[in-house]
Amino acid sequence: MRGVVRAAAYLPSYTDGAVRRCGADEDEFTLAATVLERALPRLPERSPLTVRLLGFRSPPSGAALSAVAGRPVTVEGAGEQVGSLAAALASLAASDRAECLIVARRLSRGEPPIDPADRGEGSAALVVDDGGDAIPLSTFRPTAPVRADPLTQLWAWLGGPGGLGSVGVGDWVAPVPARGQGAVPDLPDGPPYTVAEGAFVPAPRYQESLRSRWRFLADRCQACGERTFPSRGRCGRCGRTDALRDEPLPLDGAKVVASTWIGQGGQPTEFDPQVEATGPYGVVLAELEPGVRVTLPVADAEREQVSVGARVDTRLRRLYAIEGAWRYGRKAVPAPRRGEPPAPDGT
């Protein structure tokens, strides 16, 4: 079978706060419906669809999803609270039906997300069918050493080099967050907005940067030993392009070396909707390892929690939308103090 990824969705921030505000059930239904809406235009018209749900607490019914999809929807795996992502992916890749995998990360404190021990291999597909031209399925392998859970890695892989190949603007797979009341607390609700006057970083360039942006992969030069971050496809010291090896940088525990809080028109135009919705926001320069720094927006934090010297973890979040598609990147969240449980949303 020649499977292709037709659409993908991922609710990156499924936090306590979101659940408190809008209720878990509504949130989960919204997530599933959003994925379906995104996927449907890419599926053969009116064909029946099998939807596999993973990690849902209150899974929406097949009838409810049929109403959304306007076609018969069969729900599978609805009872699984915790499942193996790798197994689901492998099963999807082997399927000859149009299928949709929707993963809800249950990230409330004390409740495990998808099996954190899940380190298997599988073929990645969130919606697959046998048609077409789009994105070839290849084998998804979690990177080693494993620093994030498989879903995050899958996600980075979908966006990374060799994952999507060249696709047109608007066709590339983007995580679609749930709509509804404040499912993602640091950005406004609603479909991706488009800010006509926003800074334009073309989608292919954004996509090219994802291995560094999402996975914090640096290039280690095997010839001279230099580490280059963000990845630019050549060694920053000796210039070699043929001796680079991926080297993951830590996603958590970075030290804040500079910190600002943007308000009163200090934001770029494309951040206007966020400021209108949630007010001033923070940006930090975080040191992942000595000498390796990255500029990160701040999420879920007060000003004083991310001042110079503070420790931050990173989470994959929406940055802003342009040309109708969300841009994603890591944001800094306060690192838990010793002895505290980790923050929700363990991406």
Q: Which of 272, 277, 289, 311 binds another protein (CB under 8 A)?
A: 272
Which of 1, 67, 117, 199 forms a contact with another protein (CB under 8 A)? 199
Residue 296 interacts with another protein (CB under 8 A): yes or no: yes
Stretch that binds another protein, among 55-63, 137-145, 162-170, 287-295 (CB under 8 A): 287-295
- Asked if 291 is part of the footprint of another protein (rule: CB under 8 A), the reply reads yes
- Measure the CA dihedral 327/159/144/309, to 10°: -10
**280: contact with another protein by CB under 8 A:** yes
Over the Cα atoms of the chain, what is R_g?
20
**Please, what is the minimum distance in Å from the beta carbon of residue 198 to another protein?**
7
Q: Cα 269 from chain centroid?
A: 23
Q: How far apart are CA 55 and CA 80, in angstroms?
A: 6
Report H helices in 109-176: 150-159
Instruction: Tell the smallest beta-carbon distance from residue 13 to another protein (Å).
Output: 17
- The candidate with the shortest Cα–Cα distance to 23, out of 167, 242, 153, 183, is 183
| Minimum distance of another protein from residue 196's CB (angstroms) | 8
Task: Compare residues 34 and 212 and give the one whose CB is closer to another protein.
Answer: 212
| Residue with token string 């949709």 | 100
Nearer to another protein, 46 or 237 (CB): 237
Q: What track of x and - describes contact with another protein for positions 17 through 56 (by CB under 8 A)? A: ----------------------------------------
Of the candidate residues 93, 262, 301, 321, the single one contacting another protein (CB under 8 A) = 262
Shortest Cβ 334–another protein spacing (Å): 16
| Cβ neighbours, 10 Å, residue 255 | 18
Of the residues 128, 178, 294, 316, which one makes contact with another protein according to CB under 8 A: 294
List the beta bridge partners of residue 17. Answer: none
Beta bridge partners of 100: 51, 127
Stretch that binds another protein, among 26-34, 123-131, 161-169, 193-201 (CB under 8 A): 193-201
Q: Is the sign of the CA dihedral 10, 16, 17, 21 positive or negative?
A: positive
| Contact call for residue 108 and another protein (CB under 8 A) | no
Residue 266: C-alpha distances to residues 128, 283, 345 (Å): 43, 12, 29
Residue from 225, 239, 266, 336 binding another protein (CB under 8 A): 266
**Segment 315-334, which members bind another protein (CB under 8 A)?**
319-320, 327, 329
Rounded to whole angstroms, the Cα distance separating 76 from 50 reads: 7
State in angstroms the smallest separation of the CB of 322 from another protein: 10
CA dist list (Å): 251 to 89, 148, 330, 346: 25, 8, 9, 11
Select 279 or 339, whichever has its Cβ closest to another protein.
Answer: 279
Range in contact with another protein (rule: CB under 8 A) among 13-21, 88-96, 195-203, 240-248: 195-203
Helix residue ranges per DSSP H, the chain: 16-22, 24-39, 62-69, 85-94, 150-159, 203-208, 210-213, 272-278
Residues that bind another protein (CB under 8 A): 195, 197-199, 201, 205-206, 209, 230, 257-269, 271-272, 274, 280-281, 283-285, 291, 293-297, 303, 307-309, 319-320, 327, 329
